[in-house]
Chains A and B, each alone.
Chain A
Amino acid sequence: DAEITQSPRHKITETGRQVTLACHQTWNHNNMFWYRQDLGHGLRLIHYSYGVQDTNKGEVSDGYSVSRSNTEDLPLTLESAASSQTSVYFCASSVNRDSFQFFGPGTRLTVL
């Protein structure tokens, strides 16, 4: 069955370190998204991609970057982790830009 996976599921890191969160989908979807979820803020869009070599900034993109070298993967990199980036991160994919999204299980990141 097609799926979307995230790794690691839990990560503890230190301030200033570079961290990469992986997202892999086997739906063959062109559209992929990264969100962060914080209490009181719902889900906020970090970056998104409409296809290979395409990336776009969302509403909370500062301090994050993504690259899309193939259809299946959209890794999220925190260039220099900050305590404010402690959050739960969700990856999602969709067949069309306005269709519903399949979500991964999430990565809980703690920055100490």
Chain B
Amino acid sequence: AQSVTQLDSHVSVSEGTPVLLRCNYSSSYSPSLFWYVQHPNKGLQLLLKYTSAATLVKGINGFEAEFKKSETSFHLTKPSAHMSDAAEYFCVVSAFNAGKSTFGDGTTLTVKP
């Protein structure tokens, strides 16, 4: 079994300040973890992925995430927010033995000028 919890449904930051979107997961397997981004009225786009290699993963647009097995967390960060980062972000856990991916409920990121 697997599940994922995104701890904040909404996060608001000012442009140029750091971004932190929190994600906790549980899995009976050795999971792969992903972050996707969805801009308004668009499909989902892969932001970054963890697949049991380096625990600090770098993605597109300056985002990165750190896999912490002891804390079962995979938080998404960015040093400096940009207006174009305003979107919905989904944390996803997946495992071959589970046969499918499980999505978190999403975090809406608002970036204020």
A residues apposed to B, CB below 8 Å: 33, 35, 40-45, 48, 50, 56, 58, 90, 92, 96-101, 103-106
Contacts and interface: CB of A to CB of B under 8 A. Distances in A.
Given A42-B104, A96-B96, A106 B32 contact: no
A105 B40 CA distance: 11
Contact of B100 (A58, A100, A104): A58
Contacts of A43: 44, 90, 103
A105 B42 contact: yes
Nearest to A105: B43
Given A98-B32, A100-B49, A42 B103 contact: yes
A42 B106 contact: yes
Given A56-B99, A101-B101, 7 more contacts: A33-B101, A42-B106, A43-B90, A98-B31, A98-B95, A106-B42, A106-B43
B83 to A, nearest CB: 23
B94 interface: yes
A106 B88 CA distance: 15
A96 to B, nearest CB: 7
15 contacts: A33-B101, A45-B101, A48-B100, A58-B100, A90-B43, A97-B94, A97-B100, A98-B32, A98-B95, A99-B94, A100-B32, A100-B49, A100-B94, A101-B101, A103-B36
